[in-house]
């Protein structure tokens, strides 16, 4: 059954607001992405989005564009308007001052300072507020913000490249390069908009990576995070040598923080942090909570197999990006992407229901989200 014309119209304007909001990806975090469209007599008279952290909110930008035409207009905003003073005044005050007549808010803001209060303030002022449409799309757009607000953890993206037979390196540890240049460019695009990149010590020892963004406009400078139980990261590795330019932290066992290597890494600019163990490895859940506390909204786990496997075992992954290259590596000792505990039965395995597949150069990209 098709939607009624009015519902279709409201969805269309909200979709426009969502597209605007998405332009803030990588620039507004830890704030949410928000878009706003103002309509009067069937015409868009103002629109805007939250462009950068600390900048004007979407509603204020849109109202500025609308000017006096906002009076009696309908406002479509992807998130409940704020009602508290932060880096900017409350958007509820701006909407009241502009004398708009109706507000469609796609979703409520889980921030305790808002959480329904913005809607109540507007209704008390005589402005009609309707929650929705496109709530599902709005929730998906701000999944990272929602997770940090409600769970105290950053949104986790897992990424790896593998051969057709599921190997991420040869039995000798060689992994450069399984994926193609176009696939690696795609990875740099993701690095350019996340807050942190997480790897294990095996990846550092094997690949000596830089974990930087190359060839893409940098929206956020991602910090590098190393999980290294025995603190084997060498002080001469690329991550340590560039630690004064790009924030780099190593989470290690408490005993390892007092070693000579810890002092050498510290002198290079690397931050050494103690972390509890989960079995024989650094507790990834502890690390994620610490990163969220430092303001990180989303992080990218790039390996190795132990960390990726542990993240999936514990249900910490929200989204995954997998490049499958047309190569065969073979070898029983060649590592696979998920080297954690795994499941005992096929019936226990996760069936991916929202899988998106596309070709990137000669490789195939498998992109999916995990159910929350």
**Long-range pairs for 82-90: beta carbons < 8 A, 24 or more residues apart:** 82/57, 82/109, 82/111, 82/113, 82/114, 82/118, 83/113, 83/114, 83/117, 83/118, 83/121, 84/113, 84/114, 84/117, 86/113, 87/54, 88/55, 88/56, 88/57, 88/60, 90/118, 90/121
Can you say how many angstroms the Cα of residue 150 is from the centroid of all Cα atoms in its chain? 15
Six-digit token pair at 146? 């929602």
Distance between CA 47 and CA 44 in Å, rounded? 7
Six-digit token pair at 96? 């009241």
DSSP secondary structure of 281-295: EE-HHHHHHHHHHTT
Is 59 an active-site residue? Answer: yes
Burial class (CB in 10 A: 0-12, 13-18, 19+), 241: middle
Residue tagged active-site, from 29, 47, 59, 302: 59
Q: Starting from the edge strand earliest in sequence, which strands make up the sheet with 298-303, in order?
A: 271-274, 248-252, 223-227, 196-200, 298-303, 155-163, 319-325, 363-369, 356-360
Distances from the Cα of 184 to the Cαs of 166, 201, 203, 314, in angstroms?
A: 18, 21, 16, 27
Q: How many helices (H) and strands (E) does the chain have?
A: 12, 16
Are the C-beta atoms of 314 and 338 separated by less than 8 Å?
no
Distance between CA 211 and CA 285 in Å, rounded? 22
Dmax (CA) for the chain in angstroms is: 71
List active site positions: 59
């Amino acid at each position: 059954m098709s939607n009624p014309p009015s519902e279709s119209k409201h969805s269309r304007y909200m979709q426009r607001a969502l597209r605007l909001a998405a332009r803030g990806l990588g620039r507004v975090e830890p704030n949410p992405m928000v878009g706003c469209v103002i309509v009067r007599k069937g015409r868009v008279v103002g629109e805007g989005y939250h462009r950068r952290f600390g900048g004007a909110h979407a509603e204020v930008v849109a109202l500025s564009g609308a000017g006096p035409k906002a009076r009696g207009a309908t406002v479509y905003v992807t998130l409940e308007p704020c009602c508290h003073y932060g880096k900017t005044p409350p958007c509820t005050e701006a909407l009241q001052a502009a004398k708009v007549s109706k507000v469609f808010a796609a979703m409520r803001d889980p921030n305790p300072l808002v959480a329904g209060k913005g809607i109540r303030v507007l209704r008390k002022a005589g402005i009609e507020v309707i929650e929705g449409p496109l709530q599902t799309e709005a929730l998906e757009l701000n999944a990272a913000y929602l997770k940090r607000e409600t769970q105290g953890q950053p949104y986790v993206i897992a990424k790896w490249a593998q051969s057709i037979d599921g190997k991420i390196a040869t039995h000798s540890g060689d992994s450069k390069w399984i994926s193609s240049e176009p696939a690696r460019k795609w990875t740099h695009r993701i690095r350019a908009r996340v807050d942190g990149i997480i790897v294990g010590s095996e990846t550092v020892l094997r690949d000596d990576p830089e974990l930087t963004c190359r060839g893409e406009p940098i929206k956020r400078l991602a910090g590098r995070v190393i999980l290294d139980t025995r603190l084997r990261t060498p002080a001469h590795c690329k991550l340590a040598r560039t630690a004064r330019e790009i924030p780099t932290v190593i989470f290690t066992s408490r005993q390892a923080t007092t070693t000579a290597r810890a002092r050498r890494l510290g002198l290079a600019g690397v931050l050494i942090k103690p972390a509890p163990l989960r079995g024989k490895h650094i507790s990834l859940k502890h690390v994620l909570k610490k990163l969220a506390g430092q303001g990180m909204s989303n992080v990218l786990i790039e390996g190795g197999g132990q960390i990726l496997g542990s993240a999936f075992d514990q249900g910490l992954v929200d989204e995954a990006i997998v490049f499958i290259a047309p190569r065969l590596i073979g070898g029983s000792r060649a590592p696979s992407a998920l080297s954690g505990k795994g499941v005992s039965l096929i019936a226990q395995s996760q069936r991916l229901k929202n899988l998106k597949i596309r070709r990137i150069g000669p490789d195939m990209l498998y992109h999916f989200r995990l159910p929350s």
